Structure 1
Amino acid sequence: MDEPFGPEYVRPAQPDCQRCGCCTAALCETGRHSLLRCQGHVDAEHRETVYGCPCSAETTRYTAAWRMAQVRVTRMARELPVGAEAEAMLRVLAEGGTASDLEHVFPQLKVRGLGQIINGLPSITPLGHVYLAAKDGVRAATTVRVLDVDKKTRTARVEVADWRADEPVTVLMHQITTDSGLDVDSLPGRWLTADANCDVPDADRLVLTAFRTAPLPAGWDEDGGEAS
Structure 2
Amino acid sequence: MEEYNVTNRNKVKRVAKRASYDKESVYRVLDDSFLCHVSFVVEGQPFIIPTIYGRKGNTLFLHGATTSRMIKTLQEGVDMSLGVTHLDGIVLARSAFHHSANYRSVVVFGKALLVEEEQKEEALYVISEQVLQGRWDEVRKPNARELKATTILAVDIEEASVKIRQGGPIDDKEDYELNIWAGVVPLAINALSPISDDFNQEMKVSDSVRNYLKNHFV
**TM-score normalized by the length of structure 1:** 0.24
**TM-score normalized by the length of structure 2:** 0.25
Structure with larger Rg: 1
Question: Greater strand percent: which structure?
Answer: 2
Question: Greater helix percent: which structure?
Answer: 1
